[in-house]
Amino acid sequence: MNLVVYPSGVANWNEQNFRCALGAGGISKIKCEGDSITPAGKFSLRHVFFRADRIERPETVLPTTALTKIDGWSDDPDDPDYNRRITLPSTKRHEILWRTDAVYDLIVVIGYNDQPVVSGAGSAIFLHVAKAGYSSTEGCVAFMLSDLQKILREWTETSVVDIQI
């Protein structure tokens, strides 16, 4: 069973359609850091992070870790830890994972540009919680929290995300 994501902002999972938000730059096989493009292709999910102060640990077969206030993600192509979780503070460009809004209350790392990491090819590509109105992301795929929790509950070790053009 795969999560198939379409350019229309609809994703199909287990014979159900879910609304999702995509990158403001659309979907493409060619991606660069900061272009707001959602990368096309088939990807595994690597890890789940969640805000334990806001939601319960998600039920999933994937490795799961509670976020802390010092968690970040490097999006600096000059950083040796580019496209990896880092500990804050950092002098390199990064995302703060402990946000004041709910967008990163549940984050699922998509296995994009990580085996191997190519500097500048894009970082921090996640499944995460959508903003109100499903406004565009910076390249991620975002769902309503309950939809994302359902996907994670039903995820199998052989499932992949299939982001189509």
The DSSP 8-state label assigned to residue 23 in this structure reads: B
Residue 82 is predicted with a pLDDT of 98
3-class DSSP string for 7-67: CCCEEEECCEEEECECECCCEECCCCCCCCCEECEEECEEEEEECCCCCCCCCCCCCEEEC
CATH of domain 3-163: 2.40.440
* Mean predicted confidence (pLDDT) in 88-100: 98
pLDDT of residue 34: 97
Q: How confident is the model at residue 130 (pLDDT cuts 50, 70, 90)?
A: very high
Q: What is the pLDDT of residues 11-36, one digit of tens each?
A: 999 999 999 999 999 999 999 999 99
Distance between CA atoms of residues 81 and 72, nearest Å: 11
Report the pLDDT value the prediction gives residue 137, as an integer from 0 to 100.
98
Grade residue 93 by pLDDT with cuts at 50, 70 and 90: very high
pLDDT of 144 = 98
Structural domain spans, the chain: 3-163
**pLDDT-based confidence at residue 57 (cuts at 50, 70, 90):** very high
State the average pLDDT over residues 30-43.
98
